[in-house]
Amino acid sequence: MINRTKEALTSEKLNYEEAVAETSQQIKQLLKSAPVPIRKMTVHLSAAPGKMIRAKSLLACAMEEADRISPDAVKAAAAVELIHLATLVHDDVIDQADKRRGIKALHQKFGQKYAVLCGDWLLCAALEWVSTMDPDGNDREELSRVLPKYMTAVCLGELRQNQNMHNYRLSERQYFQTIRGKTAALFEACFYGGHLFSREPELYKEIYTEIGNNIGLIFQLADDCADYEFTQKESKKPVLSDCSSGVITLPLIYTLKKDSALKEKIEAGMDPIRLKEAVVASGGLAYTHGKIHRLRRDTARLIRVLDISPKKSALLEQILDRAAGKFQG
Amino acid sequence: MINRTKEALTSEKLNYEEAVAETSQQIKQLLKSAPVPIRKMTVHLSAAPGKMIRAKSLLACAMEEADRISPDAVKAAAAVELIHLATLVHDDVIDQADKRRGIKALHQKFGQKYAVLCGDWLLCAALEWVSTMDPDGNDREELSRVLPKYMTAVCLGELRQNQNMHNYRLSERQYFQTIRGKTAALFEACFYGGHLFSREPELYKEIYTEIGNNIGLIFQLADDCADYEFTQKESKKPVLSDCSSGVITLPLIYTLKKDSALKEKIEAGMDPIRLKEAVVASGGLAYTHGKIHRLRRDTARLIRVLDISPKKSALLEQILDRAAGKFQG
């Protein structure tokens, strides 16, 4: 498989399925061959690879005519997944989470200080990986230029979320400001970055970034609904974890606005199951589903505006569907 | 002062003193005008600006003919100081330090989770700052390409140090491997980066990187001596902190090699003052001073190889002197 990787890295363009497999392989390879001081940790992380929705987004957008994808786009896709992984590792330190992607969180297994350093290393290694892209393309430079901007936006979103823990007066506007950074910024980076490789008209850039931002918002809104919707049996993630840890999301914001007595009850120590019932009864989930529905409709329209191949269009719609997946069940 | 900054950013080249002042101003400005969620923290950090030896190194190396420095070099200098600041913030989380640069450590004032996120933000903001450099120069692209490589080296050095805490069998070779990452990598990045702006012959690149690496090593060796040499009254930093926290440095490595019974005494809980006496008596400090002396002599020779202006040469020698400053007293 190493030979296959080398071959792909040199020049050969790939179809979508090959590009996804190659990205996955590169991530695995990078994690498994990390320098010795970090390797134990990165090998642990490689055991739970994630669904790669960000990488898939970038690759789908990177498709050129005849549905081919450049090897540099594969590198960029691997890099955004590593950046995402870095944020997960630091998030888990911050939230003191026990598990991530079904395995023990890094800080639980190796200690907090190693998790901080491992997150730092992943971030830098991702950028170093971008810097190995073909120097003759303009894409490497542009990607090195825009990635840090999106990464600061992610940090700010995380900061906003932490500052608003247990803030039961959080407005819908503040919530969207938070998730635009925390989640949508990196999705937007993927769509922007993917478009760079596509050789499509420059004027599509704005459309792709808007689609990316919307899909990021949908992804987070669906995730925030799932926290209230599913039983532990149905979900792979811990449920009712947002309200238990003080993260205020849209279903709860809506409910708090409807029920003025709720804030006091929560502060007095309300049972999460009761809170879930209140959120369902108030229509907080239905309201959030409405938001997802409208964003989804608008985004599907934007995809249809693009003059792209049927395959590319179908892939973008599939990614849109997956982002909203938890909503659809 | 903002007007002055704007003017400098556009085109005007600066002399060294102006460039240092401008860098300091840019750092202050970036920290004080950070986005709201992060600003309280960055304003706190701006109260203790540090001595900027890394920025000064970059600026001295960036001097062109007639001793002028390009505004982009100033941006790069500000960026490396922000990267350094990011590593300090994360270091303090990892070491659970109380103070930094004479003021309360960030995690002590704002809590650990904010310190992790603030360090992440500083790192990304530094790279974003680099990306605002003049797109017509080749320097921005090259700097974006090499910085991540040096940053991963810094992370690995930090990891090595942490993995070797209380490792009383640490070899001199392993020690140098650690400090080459932890400290010398960022110094080397400054010398490499500075040279990019200098318009000097390409073949000087290797000489500058070697000078940078050496100065970084000298800086760390001198710092490691100072931990054993000074009384708390004489030093601005906590003394005997390395041995108390389990960081094994060259003076101690030498002493452990000389005195085979020492390891057990330390592990049994030796008083730091007694340990200091043992390090002095064994010649551990003299041995380390010898290393500094030889590195310094070699580096001074390398500086003399460069066909540069007397002013530039004097500045590089000054930086070399300052790096060894704690050794000189």
Domain total in chain A: 2
Residues B246 and B183 both lie in one domain: yes
pLDDT(A135) > 90 = no
Q: How does the average pLDDT of chain B come out, rounded?
A: 91
Residue type, A109: K
Last residue of a domain, one of A134, A155, A186: A134
Does the beta-carbon distance from A125 to B152 stay under 8 Å? yes
Q: What are the beta bridge partners of residue A103? A: A100
Cβ pairs bridging A and B (under 8 Å): 124
Q: A212 phi and psi, to 5 degrees?
A: -60, -45
Last residue of a domain, one of A117, A134, A151: A134
Average pLDDT over residues B253-260: 95
Distance (Å, whole) CA A266 – CA A275: 8
Best of B82, B124, B186 to disrupt the A interface (most A CBs within 10 Å) is B124
pLDDT(B197) > 50 = yes
- For residue A255, the distance in angstroms to the closest alpha carbon of chain B comes to 26
Out of A117, A121, A152, name the one closest to residue B128 (CB).
A152
Distance (Å, whole) CA A205 – CA A291: 24
Per-residue model confidence (pLDDT) at position A236? 67
- Locate the chain A residue with the closest alpha carbon to B122: A152
Residues A212 and A113 both lie in one domain: no
Out of B140, B151, B163, name the one closest to residue A124 (CB).
B151
Structure tokens of B150?
A: 């040096």
- Locate the chain A residue with the closest alpha carbon to B120: A155
Over residues B116-135, the pLDDT tens digits come to 999 999 999 999 999 899 87
Average pLDDT over residues B281-292: 97
ipTM for the complex shown: 0.91
Given a contact cutoff of 8 angstroms between Cβ atoms, the answer to whether A55 and A74 are in contact is no
Residues A164 and A301 both lie in one domain: yes
Per-residue model confidence (pLDDT) at position B320? 97
Q: What is the DSSP secondary-structure string of B18-84?
A: HHHHHHHHHHHHHHHTS-HHHHHHHHHHHTS----HHHHHHHHHH--GGG-B-HHHHHHHHHHHHHH
Over residues A262-295, the pLDDT tens digits come to 999 999 988 888 999 999 999 999 999 999 999 9
Burial degree of A305 (CB within 10 A; 0-12, 13-18, 19+): exposed
pLDDT(B9) > 90 = no
- For residue A308, the distance in angstroms to the closest alpha carbon of chain B comes to 31
* Dihedral over alpha carbons A19, A23, A28, A32 (to 10 degrees): 110
Average pLDDT over residues B70-95: 95
- For residue A147, the distance in angstroms to the closest alpha carbon of chain B comes to 8
Residues A189 and A307 both lie in one domain: yes
Structure tokens of A35?
A: 């320098």
Residues B42 and B148 both lie in one domain: no
A38 contacts on B by Cβ (under 8 Å)? 155-156, 159
Last residue of a domain, one of B135, B165, B196: B135
Closest CA to B25 of B4, B48, B53: B4
Q: What is the CATH number of the domain that holds A219?
A: 1.10.600.10
B121 contacts on A by Cβ (under 8 Å)? 152, 155-156, 159
Over residues A206-220, the pLDDT tens digits come to 999 999 999 999 999
Given a contact cutoff of 8 angstroms between Cβ atoms, the answer to whether B133 and B193 are in contact is no
pLDDT(B329) > 50 = no
Does the beta-carbon distance from B121 to A163 stay under 8 Å? no
- Locate the chain B residue with the closest alpha carbon to A125: B152
> Which domain range does residue A7 map to?
1-134
